[in-house]
Amino acid sequence: MVAYEEGERAMMEHDLRAWQVHETKGGLKSHRYGSADRSVWVLAGQLKPNIVLVDDRALRGWLTVSGHTVMGTLGVLSLAADRRVIERHQAVRLLDELVDRHRLWIDVSTYQKVRKYLSKNSLR
């Protein structure tokens, strides 16, 4: 059970009440995409967000071709380190945990490239 600071739970509940579930209309016709992927693509087209957070490589490609800016987990991790939301050595540790412990699948060359990028200027 997560312990919340006084008032934090009420603020979170208030914020979550404002979230809306959006119906999708249309979608990708290919059987290659699951219903969640199709929903992401359709909602991105309907809502026109500044950025779409998605990890699936095929879906990222389709969204990019459709004119959307996309970012995945590795991009978020890199951005957090670049903006000093987290320390670079923490980002490296989190990358390793994502791969080793949480089984995020990325190819070896991508892992090495991101790890090298996150390790630059790291003090630990």
Tens of pLDDT, residues 74-100: 999 999 999 999 999 999 999 999 999
User: What pLDDT score does 77 carry?
Assistant: 95
More confident residue, 8 or 72: 72
Closest CA to 99 of 121, 80, 118: 118
- pLDDT-derived band at 19, boundaries 50, 70, 90: low
**Which residue matches tokens 């699951």?**
34
Q: How do the domains of the chain map onto residue ranges?
A: 8-71, 73-119
What H or E segment, with its residue span, contains residue 16? helix 8-17
**pTM of the prediction?**
0.67
